[in-house]
């Protein structure tokens, strides 16, 4: 039976385009689908009966059709939210239709056995909580900056008193605005004198600022790791802010102890892939130079200099030439 790779993502996804291109060059069958397209452009017919232990049936897009039994791997990237499909409906109708689609098509696409998932959406959801990430880092022996999650201004002031500089980070990110435009709140140094009772409205994450000399992005795909040191302009706290053309990238070796911890981290969450961010306080030769910041279980990597090699690592796993996780 054919080994088809099902790529679950939105229409415009450059990162997925890289991987699909690599699979096409290997003559691996690929079907790309955005579940939020459910309707005339996407029809489903899924069966489960007493004669089988797995879902069967087919999924049909405007250009392709795939039998569930042919799916050997699922590359789950960034599909469009279901609510976008039903925005023209009244609120109750919209919420109902979106929930039914998410539990129907989404529920089956999470249950394809024995397909390998990169990554399984349930594992991604579990691994996206920053406090859980930081706690797991410490369990695995990685250094993390002193951290406070609070909605209490006095607690935030006491934390700031213990550290020379404190930065604020979002726990999740900034949602889209009314017109669908996405924004960002960058990691930034904060002035404790501005803390007031407005902090009580929600949770805030504060960390001691690490006196870093650079950052490292480690992209782990299966058993392989790809590490790039990122050097921003002098004084920049968050390298994502500003002109990316000014960033200096250079390959860096990951200390064996750090690499073992990263693989253990992925295994503990049932992940095959993750983008890890570190703050670097030395030349990187010693594990003591590496401070774990976060892991994005569905991160971007297409902009990195080693993107071609990362692409092939993804293709290895999805084409069953590597090892995946179901």
Classify 146-208 by CATH class. alpha beta
Q: Tell me how far apart the alpha carbons of residues 220 and 258 are, in angstroms, rounded to a whole number.
A: 12
Q: Tell me how far apart the alpha carbons of residues 236 and 187 are, in angstroms, rounded to a whole number.
A: 10
Tell me the mean pLDDT per 10 residues along the chain, length 326.
Answer: 87 94 95 94 90 86 92 95 88 94 94 93 95 97 97 96 94 70 79 94 95 94 96 75 78 97 98 96 94 95 94 94 41
Q: What is the pTM of this model?
A: 0.91
Identify the pLDDT of residue 2: 60
- Kind and range of the H or E run holding 214: strand 214-221
Identify the pLDDT of residue 254: 97
Identify the pLDDT of residue 84: 85
Q: Tell me how far apart the alpha carbons of residues 154 and 17 are, in angstroms, rounded to a whole number.
A: 48
Identify the pLDDT of residue 228: 96
Identify the pLDDT of residue 181: 62
> Helix-strand-coil percent breakdown of the chain, rounded to 5?
35, 25, 40
Q: Tell me how far apart the alpha carbons of residues 267 and 156 are, in angstroms, rounded to a whole number.
A: 34
Identify the pLDDT of residue 98: 93
Tokens standing for 228? 């790039």
Identify the pLDDT of residue 185: 80
Burial (0-12, 13-18, 19+ Cβ within 10 Å), 147: middle
Identify the pLDDT of residue 322: 39
> φ and ψ at 48, to 5 degrees?
-145, 120
| Cβ count within 10 A of residue 304 | 18
- Kind and range of the H or E run holding 178: none
Q: Tell me how far apart the alpha carbons of residues 251 and 268 are, in angstroms, rounded to a whole number.
A: 27
* Closest by CA position to 306, among listed 227, 243, 244: 227
The residue ranges of every structural domain in the chain are 4-118, 146-208, 212-304
**Cα→Cα distances 296→99, 102, 276, 313, Å:** 26, 23, 6, 18
Identify the pLDDT of residue 143: 97
Identify the pLDDT of residue 308: 96
Sign of CA dihedral 170, 296, 30, 74: negative
Identify the pLDDT of residue 157: 96
Helix crossing, 130-139 with 256-269: angle to 10°?
130
Identify the pLDDT of residue 196: 94
Q: Tell me how far apart the alpha carbons of residues 240 and 318 are, in angstroms, rounded to a whole number.
A: 30
Q: Which residues pair with 5 in a beta bridge?
A: 30, 73
Count of alpha carbons within 13 Å of 305, Cβ hemisphere only?
14
Identify the pLDDT of residue 255: 97
Identify the pLDDT of residue 182: 65
CATH topology of domain 212-304: D-amino Acid Aminotransferase; Chain A, domain 1 (3.30.470)
Q: Tell me how far apart the alpha carbons of residues 80 and 13 are, in angstroms, rounded to a whole number.
A: 11
């Amino acid at each position: 039976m054919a080994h088809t790779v099902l790529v679950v993502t939105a229409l415009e996804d450059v990162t997925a385009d890289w991987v699909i291109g690599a699979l096409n060059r290997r003559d691996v069958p690929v079907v790309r689908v955005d579940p939020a397209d459910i309707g005339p452009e996407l029809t489903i017919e899924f069966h489960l009966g007493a004669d089988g232990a797995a879902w069967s049936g087919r999924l049909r897009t405007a250009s392709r059709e795939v039998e569930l039994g042919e799916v050997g791997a699922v590359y789950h990237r960034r599909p469009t939210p279901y609510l976008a499909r039903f925005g023209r409906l009244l609120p109750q109708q919209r919420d109902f239709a979106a929930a039914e689609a998410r539990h129907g098509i989404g529920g089956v696409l999470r249950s394809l056995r024995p397909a390998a998932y990169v990554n399984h959406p349930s594992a991604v959801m579990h691994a996206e909580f920053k406090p859980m990430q930081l706690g797991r880092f410490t369990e695995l022996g990685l250094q993390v900056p002193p951290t406070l999650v609070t909605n209490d201004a006095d607690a935030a002031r006491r934390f700031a008193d213990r550290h020379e500089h404190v930065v604020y980070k979002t726990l999740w990110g900034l949602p889209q605005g009314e017109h669908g435009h996405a924004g960002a709140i960058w990691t930034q140094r904060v002035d404790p004198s501005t803390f007031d009772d407005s902090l009580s409205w929600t949770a805030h994450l504060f960390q001691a600022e690490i006196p870093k000399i650079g950052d490292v992005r480690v992209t782990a795909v299966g058993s392989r790791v790809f590490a790039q040191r990122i050097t921003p302009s002098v004084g920049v706290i968050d390298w994502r802010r500003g002109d990316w053309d000014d960033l200096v990238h250079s390959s860096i070796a990951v200390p064996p102890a750090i690499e073992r911890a990263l693989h253990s981290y992925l295994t503990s969450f049932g992940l095959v892939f993750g983008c890890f961010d570190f703050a670097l306080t030395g030349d990187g030769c010693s594990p003591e130079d590496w401070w774990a910041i976060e892991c994005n279980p569905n991160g971007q990597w297409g902009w990195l200099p080693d993107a071609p090699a990362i692409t092939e690592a993804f293709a290895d796993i999805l084409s069953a030439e590597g090892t995946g996780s179901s």
